Amino acid sequence: MMDVTKYGVGYYPAPKSEYRWVRKDHIDKAPAWCSVDLRDGNQSLIVPMSLEEKLEFFGLLVKIGFKEIEVGFPAASETEYEFLRTLIEQDLIPPDVTVQVLTQCRDHIIRKTFEAVQGAPSAVIHFYNSTSVAQREQVFKKSKSEIKKIATDGAALVKQLAAEYPGNFRFEYSPESFTGTEPEYALEVCNAVLDSLEPTPEKPVIINLPVTVAMSMSHVYANQIEYMSDNLKYRNSVVLSLHPHNDRGCGVADTELALLAGADRVEGTLFGNGERTGNVDVITLAMNLYTHGVDPHLDFSDMPAIVELYERVTRMHVYERTPYAGALVFAAFSGSHQDAIAKGMNWRKEHGLHQWTVPYIPVDPTDIGRTYDADVIRINSQSGKGGIGYLLQQKFGYDLPPKMREHFGYTVKAVSDHAHKELPPEEVFGVFRSTYLNKQSPVSVQEAHFIQKSGIFAVVTVSVNGQARECSGQGNGRLDAVCNAVKAACGMDFTIETYSEHSLEHGSTSEAAAYVGLRWADGSTTWGAGTDTDIIQAGIKALASAVNNK
């Protein structure tokens, strides 16, 4: 049974809340990014990645554009030690990429970390200790001064070893469980660490303030970040970093508001993979910037390939509704949505717009390696005529007249409803083909010859149930003349209510497509479509198809 009384406020609001960040309505530049996929992400997997898989993932992160990549906890695991050494010894770290290694504030672990990182082009030594009330009281059973000493002792040792070992080292300190720490005390510890490390603008120190466990609403975290940013010593020599987890489902919101509040850097993972509910999703953050016109300096132009590699090496699944990357995030099944999207796409094309303003679709799918026809308009029993017609036009080149498009929409929806499934584009086209296109039974027009005589006079050979007969008809145009001949041959009563045509540019063909809607004496309407390299023949085939649909 649920019992709300056991829970209370476990976080500590900032003592001075200026709320300056509230007055900003957007983030105007990308933060520095650090991928922690190979540490947080890997340690959260049921089956951690093999060495080969880690190397492949590292290559992906480099390709995407990460300049800082946390590669593991080399002093705590032989596997992670081997991975780091492989990167270094096989010269797999580009000169503009910095590897980051994690270590607790413990003497022997820090020393082994420096051994592991020897030879790297550049490295961030990320040391941490927990400062929260719960950890101080329940885990370490130490006072505030004792916890602070762990941090400053760690800082002194990394500074000493950096001077003893060859290499280009930078430092990062995290007061782990920052969100469960009194902000005044977190500030005291961080400033003590900074005093020990003595950062300069040329060699800044990263102060990382993690949402190790999310405890508050996002604005509380933003206030904490603003407070720290305002009060940290050496602020022009400090890179203020974020490391949000997603326990409350607010990882992206926490990060975006904290960036408004003064943070400079973000640690996160692709697709938010991490412990418990995960780390913040860097892809969502970066693409949110992109859709606001801010270059994230990360390349997600081939999202399907990123998803494929990620799923293969982590054995995790990218949820279909994951922002930007999920298989269905651009999919519109709703008829009204499909209609709006189709009209928006056409509006953009007709007006030659560069700006992206299409309804319901916040980013151009082609920017991230997706397609309109396969990803945007998806067809099932909820779909509408606009979307179905748009798919047929974009994928196969057939631009149906409006009333025929409506008839076709209901036909496709009925097929999907009966089958209880989504119809892929090829099946949608199959319904169109079998229902309307070039239907030549039981009636077909085998030959037609025309004479200019009081309009157009047509001599037509019509086959009805396999029996050919010659007949004639007069009309104000060729198709009208053929129509009157067919009516005479078949004893039918109809008129052409709708006719349209266009060139059909699809594949390697150079055909014309024609559409005919017939109004019958009983008030019903039938539709047909025809294709041929000759536009007159295409119209005649469309006429026969419409007759055969009675």
Are domains 24-314 and 443-548 of this chain identical in fold?
no
Helix or strand (DSSP H, E) at 163: helix 144-164
> For 113-127, how does the pLDDT look when each residue is reduced to its tens digit (9 = 90+)?
999 999 999 999 999
Closest CA to 269 of 57, 101, 29, 98: 57
Q: Is 245 helix (H, G, I), strand (E, B) or coil?
A: strand
d(CA 274, CA 186): 24
Strands 456-464, 443-452: pairing is antiparallel
pLDDT, residue 341, reads: 84
pLDDT, residue 374, reads: 57
Beta carbons of 439 and 548 less than 8 angstroms apart? yes
pLDDT, residue 379, reads: 66
CATH of 443-548, one of 3.40.47.10, 3.30.9.10, 3.30.160.270, 3.40.50.2300: 3.30.160.270
pLDDT, residue 384, reads: 62
pLDDT, residue 86, reads: 97
107: its two tokens: 């003497």
Give the residue extent of every domain in the chain.
Answer: 24-314, 335-435, 443-548
Question: Could you tell me how many residues make up the chain?
Answer: 550
Cα angle for residues 9, 10, 14 (degrees, 5° grid): 90
Compute φ and ψ for 216, nearest 5 degrees.
-130, 170
Q: What is the CATH number of domain 24-314?
A: 3.20.20.70
pLDDT, residue 385, reads: 64
Q: Which residues of the chain have pLDDT under 50?
A: 508
Instruction: Return the half-sphere exposure (C-beta side, CA atoms, 13 A cut-off) of residue 117.
Output: 33
pLDDT, residue 364, reads: 95
pLDDT, residue 380, reads: 62
pLDDT, residue 418, reads: 86
263: its two tokens: 């943070």
> For 143-158, how does the pLDDT look when each residue is reduced to its tens digit (9 = 90+)?
999 999 999 999 999 9
Burial of 465 (0-12, 13-18, 19+ CB in 10 A): exposed
